[in-house]
């Protein structure tokens, strides 16, 4: 592929014409969706700031900074996991364009009804010239594999979860099913069945062990980083120690998955906090302080989501403009 051809792929435009009535409606619909997402995200950030400032200010700045970096690293691992499966389903889309679609689209989880994240990702993918079905399929597979990863790591906190929040234990009943479903033939069949139900073409090739393994591995790294994020906050006040790191990893993994099932709440609000407080309490941290850490954690998630999404969008836009400029220069030289 020549440089101009590669640039043309990066600068690909959406197939809908903005000159038609339908095109204008779609274009304004996308803009409205983005505005709503930004509005809900900003609201979540503002309303939680005062609640957590007292707790955050008591934590050493080094711990707060490292904890924030850990969240961003976790988001990065999850983005790589998502792009791994997206690239397996078609022509590779590039790190920056993929990151923009995944991270900016992911802000939709702050709108009540987490389905907004997937809708926004599909629309951003469509705008980049990718079929909505490909984005949806990739997100669906990545979600399933990530759920298995979270349950595997959640076993580390199972005794505490079983004692303090028994209502979350039922999730582990899904683990044997999930492990079986990771087999390439079964995962391919299940994904094709969902696509058929949605009246979409089935997968045109069987998923590979290598792809599934990478998605599972990066998903587990993401949950480990999320656990380290919580441990850095809690450990700054003298608890829970090294053994608590294992509990924090398991707690963050299972709490984030439990939050997915509360899809009617913005990013599973409330569900995640309940599991985290229970585990921190078992580590010797006062429940009130544990709740403050849980809320502080959510605020740091919001900040990390905004920063990573903004950076991905900015880089993708810059690269697209550079590509368009090179294409225009090459055309003028001919």
Q: What is the pLDDT along the chain (334 residues), one digit of tens a residue?
A: 333 333 333 334 344 444 566 555 655 555 565 555 556 545 655 665 565 566 667 777 888 899 999 999 999 999 999 999 999 988 888 888 889 999 988 888 877 666 778 888 888 888 888 888 889 899 989 999 999 999 999 888 877 777 766 666 677 788 899 999 999 999 999 888 888 887 888 888 899 999 999 999 999 999 999 999 999 988 877 666 777 888 889 888 888 887 666 554 444 455 677 777 777 777 777 777 777 788 788 889 989 999 999 898 888 888 888 888 888 888 887 7
Through-space distance between the first and last CA atoms of the chain, rounded to whole angstroms: 18
Extract the tokens encoding 44. 């979540």
Helix H, strand E, coil C: the string for 36-82 is HHHHHHHHHHHHHHHHHHHHHHHCCHHHHHHHHHHHHHHHHHHHHHH
**pTM more than 0.75:** yes
CA 109 centroid distance within chain = 9
Per-residue confidence (pLDDT) for residue 333, from 0 to 100: 79
Q: What's the confidence (pLDDT) of residue 119?
A: 83
Which tokens belong to 25?
């409606």
- Whether 81 contacts 146, CB under 8 Å: yes
| Helices 21-58, 287-333: inter-axial angle, 10-degree rounding | 140
> Domain map of the chain by residue range?
14-333
Cis upstream peptide for 240 (omega within 30°): yes
- pLDDT for residue 129: 82
Distance CA 208, CA 188 (A): 9
Handedness of CA 201, 205, 211, 216 (dihedral sign): positive
Token reading at 273: 């906090």
Rounded alpha-carbon distances, angstroms, from residue 320 to 13, 223, 259, 308: 10, 32, 35, 18
**CA-CA-CA-CA torsion sign (43, 70, 154, 177):** positive
Q: Is 111 helix (H, G, I), strand (E, B) or coil?
A: coil
Contact 254, 96 (CB under 8 A): no
Residue the block writes with tokens 């393994």 = 213
């Amino acid at each position: 592929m020549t440089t101009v051809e590669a640039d043309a792929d990066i600068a690909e435009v959406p197939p809908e014409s903005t000159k038609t009535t339908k095109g204008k409606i779609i274009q304004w619909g996308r803009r409205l969706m983005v505005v709503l997402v930004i509005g809900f995200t900003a609201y979540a950030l503002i309303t939680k700031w005062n609640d957590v400032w007292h707790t955050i200010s008591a934590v050493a700045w080094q711990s707060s900074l490292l904890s924030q970096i850990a969240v961003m690293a976790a988001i990065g691992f999850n983005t790589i996991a998502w792009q791994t499966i997206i690239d397996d389903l078609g022509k590779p889309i590039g790190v920056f364009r993929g990151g923009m679609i995944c991270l900016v689209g992911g802000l939709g989880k702050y709108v009540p009804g987490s389905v907004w994240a997937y809708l926004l990702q599909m629309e951003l993918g469509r705008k980049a010239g990718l079929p909505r079905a490909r984005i949806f399929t990739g997100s669906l597979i990545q979600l399933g594999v990530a759920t298995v990863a979270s349950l595997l790591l959640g076993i580390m906190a199972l005794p505490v979860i079983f004692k303090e929040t028994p209502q979350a234990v039922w999730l582990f009943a899904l683990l044997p099913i999930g492990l079986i479903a990771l087999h390439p033939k079964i995962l391919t069949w299940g994904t094709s069945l969902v696509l058929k139900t949605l009246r979409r073409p089935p997968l045109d090739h069987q998923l590979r062990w290598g792809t599934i393994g990478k998605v599972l591995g990066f998903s587990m790294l993401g949950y480990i980083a999320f656990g380290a994020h919580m441990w850095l906050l809690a450990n700054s006040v003298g608890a829970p120690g090294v053994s608590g790191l294992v509990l924090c990893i398991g707690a963050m993994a299972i709490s984030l998955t439990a939050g997915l099932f509360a899809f009617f709440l913005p990013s599973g609000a409330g569900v995640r906090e309940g599991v985290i407080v229970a585990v921190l309490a078992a580590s010797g941290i006062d429940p009130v302080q544990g709740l403050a850490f849980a809320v502080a954690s959510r605020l740091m998630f919001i900040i990390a989501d905004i920063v990573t999404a903004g950076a991905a969008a900015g880089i993708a836009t810059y690269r697209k403009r550079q590509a368009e400029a090179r294409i225009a220069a090459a055309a003028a030289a001919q």
